[in-house]
Structure 1
């Protein structure tokens, strides 16, 4: 059984290096053939909205919008239910392919056999 990776990113523009690292690891894992589920929580929640990832810049780092596009193309991206509600986001506001789910779904994913979970 192949291992999979669940990445929860809590940082956004408030901690740009940590944020970009989470997206970079997710995209690199996918490129290596690893199944990836990326969870957007806290300040990273804003990247579920169209155009927000493209606005994010960090010197000497891959463009966040490109990394998010890669994860959307080959993995799964989830926005935290509570985080979405606190920011008045609904499914209609989100980038195509981003789902909204809560703690029970996250727990189910990270406790599945063969899963490695990382939190940034």
Structure 2
């Protein structure tokens, strides 16, 4: 059975340490061989847009742009449907590889066998 981790990040530039922790944990799990799904919700929704992760800065933290690129290359990145609508973000606006999906898909992922879930 593969190890699976779902990380839901609600923080963005408004809470940079919490945001960076979510991305760091997700990419560390990915590097350890886990099947990782990162959900962008709330203020982290903005990182689904091109260039936004590049502008994020936190001293002594890996660049968010690099962490996001790793997750897009080896895991799944999902933008919350409601969060996208509230911010007027559409499918055509997001980075390649980011899907937009809602609560039903999140619940399906979290309730899967062997899944660990974290919320930041």
Query: Which band: TM-score by shorter chain?
Result: over 0.9
Calculate the TM-score normalised by the size of structure 2: 0.99
Counterpart residue number, 2:103: 103
Counterpart in 2 of 1:14? 14
Name the count of aligned residue pairs.
Answer: 120
TM-score, structure 1 as length reference: 0.99
Q: Does 1:70 align with 2:70?
A: yes
> Could you tell me how far apart the structure 2 residues matched to 1:3 and 1:66 are?
23
Q: Which runs of 5+ in 1 are unaligned?
A: none
Deviation at 1:2, TM superposition (A): 1.7
Give CA deviations for 1:16-41 in whole Å, capped at 9, x if unaligned.
Answer: 00000000011111111001000000
Query: Which protein has the bigger helix share?
Result: 1
Structure 1 residue 3: deviation in Å? 1.9
Hey, what's the Cα distance between the residues in 2 that align with 1:71 and 1:27?
Answer: 6
Indicate the SS of the match to 1:2. coil
Which residue does 2:86 correspond to in 1?
Answer: 86
Deviating beyond 2 angstroms after TM superposition, the runs of 4 or more aligned structure 1 residues are: none
Q: Mark the runs of 5 or more structure 2 residues left unpaired by the alignment.
A: none
Q: Distance in 2 between matches of 1:3 and 1:20?
A: 22
- SS state of the match for residue 52, structure 1? coil
Separation in 2, partners of 1:63, 1:74: 17
Distance 2:112 2:34 in 1: 15
User: 1:3 and 1:74 mapped to 2: Cα distance?
Assistant: 14
SS at match of 2:107: helix
